[in-house]
Structure 1
Amino acid sequence: MLCVNVELKERRYPIHIGANLLKDTTVYPLKKGDKVMIVSNPTVAEYYLPELTETLQAIGCQISKVLLPDGEKYKTLDSLNLIFTALLEENHGRDTTIIALGGGVIGDVAGYAAASYQRGIPFIQIPTTLLAQVDSSVGGKTAVNHALGKNMIGAFYQPVAVIIDSMTLNTLPKREINAGLAEVIKYGAIADADFFQWLEQHIDELVALNQSTLQTCISRCCQIKAEVVARDEKEKGERAHLNLGHTFGHAIETHLGYGNWLHGEAVAVGMMMAAVLSEKLGKLSKQEAARLEKLLARANLPTLSPDSMQAQDYLPHMLRDKKVLGGKLRLVLLETLGRAYVASDIDNQAVLEAIRTCSQPDQ
């Protein structure tokens, strides 16, 4: 088992990474008599809720559960309210711990519920998708979507522990694995050129779900994110680098309707748009942009805009992004592979040209 600690000013919490951790009572910060509310969805619950329930029973916990509808389109205030209703109906108080068992949607909604219920109760992340394991479960971002924008309603609220059982990836659809690899590649692109090169050497093993390679990869991604979050928990500066490709990607998700493209698929295209823009601004080299494109393709990820979107469709969504200040876009771009920066003085026409470069040939 591997362990990465997130070191914050006020406290620290562990990220446990390994095989079959769902069954390992030692990684849960719980004791006999503790109350827990498991939040999951029917798809994940079918595979893993019995196993988690058995482990919590062995610890001696009092267990409740609530299942949310499955999918990004249900990352809403209505789903949040389902959790609040379940907590209130069963008289849960501040001594209850919420356990998020599922992917990024479950983690985000359950985390926001924990942040809000009685002004804050503990929660544990048990991410079951690659994207959630390497990204959304770490760092305390919790949120729900609004019809006008993704993740616009939420809070920074840290878990007490993250438990990553890499074996859960064996039941994940291949498309979801690929989507998670977009966030993996992002880490190399923004923060670690050596890790990017390691990914070029091992991407086929990751696609094939080699357990040893997966655990090494997940650990490095969590380590990078933990270090960034420790320096900038509330995204005042450096943490924005973790959003490479996300401003473009969120525009795709919002425009197409949540869930039609997976988050990682949209981010992959967004990273290519950011790379092309970086190249046009004289930062990233043409060769480095080509390396990024090739690695994304090897991970079976898209690198071109959806054929139903025109370049002008992006800007209205992008101008609602949380990084917009004073009505001006702020984009995460690349100086080189392994080093990102935030640009706030880019002409909208340059942005549109980068989008067009990454559009389908007939557009």
Structure 2
Amino acid sequence: RGINAPTRTWPWDFKNSYNMIVRDNHYFYNAGRFGVNGCHHALFENNVFVRNGDYQAKGETGGLNMDYVTDMIILNNSFLVKGHPILARNQGETILSQGGDPNQMTLGTVSEATAITIKDSKQEWQDFTDRVSTAWQYAVHPTNYMVAIVSGKGAGQWRTIIHNNDTVLTVDRPWDVIPDKGSHYIINQWSAYQLLVKDNMLKDNHQGIMMYCGGNDIAIVGNKLTNSSGIYLRADQRMAKKRYNLLWNTVVSGNQCVDTDGRRAAFVSLLLAVEKDQDLFGIGALGVVVRRNTVKAYIPNVTNSPIKAEGFLNYMGEQAAGNSKIGVNVPGILGSVWEYNNAINTDNAFIIGKGTHHVIIKKNQLENVPNPIFDLIDKKQKMGAKYIVTDIK
């Protein structure tokens, strides 16, 4: 590959490929990942990936790596481990998307807008119709740039950019609500767009299904994770790097995350990472539905893994500073729905944090759970989550 060799020993790498089917294969490997970065219109079905724990090289190891992909299906695959347990290192993600390159982003403020345009007089934009390569993966993104309104009038909308000059961009269809002057916007390319991850089996992997850098129109359905951590959904704001990865319009349904050996926490989490003392720029996670999932924890619950709790999690990491320019009541995570889920053996069924607004927690079943909801209240700002709770049993 010639990239970071010899640590980047990937068994295969289908970079920038499309209209492809990978089916009914068995893979046995010691290290590396299986790359599908920059791919689109692809099906990975009924494959078996077996990681050898008896030979764990110093380089990275994991499963499918899907950065900057669209129209992709990961269906009925098995991700297994043989031999020695996989070591606890900051890697080992089994199904992974982490396309968060800040070089392809713009975070800015609307100067004025019309039904199909946005102007930012402080910019000198690149050509957003050019699907450029990422800085480190050399993967060409399969979709055009998008612009999302994350605060102010019209927040919660996104459109595809079809034309622009230095300061004015044109979108593919009219705004439902025209953004006003001062609204915050983000220009980006989704790390994962129109992705289905369905009916896969993960067993004894260090980390599970990890959407580190958000995405849009994602469905994670019917997967079974046994001693393989959990399902990790994250929006990611890093203002110092001029980066904000959004997670919008995602459903997580009918999955099982089970911890039987106490090695790794089992969870379904929706998080917004915010660096310490940063102002919250706007909505990071929007319209995420978590329904009919089961999380079964180990007793005692695992608290020393990357996610320091077992159960269902919905909160910001570090919180927006008290002197936030757009106010502490701006939602970071907006409109998440948690219903018909099962929590078993967890200390807390739901851990909800500040910056989380309009949460619905409805008709969930609890078994051997002493505390239904733990609210991470910010004592300085006297603000926790704003949520609605009904029918927890």
TM superposition score normalised by structure 1: 0.30
Kindly name which structure, 1 or 2, has the bigger radius of gyration based on alpha carbons.
2
> Larger helix proportion, structure 1 or 2?
1
Structure with greater strand percent: 2
Which gives a bigger RCO, structure 1 or 2 (Cα 8 Å, sep 6+)? Answer: 1
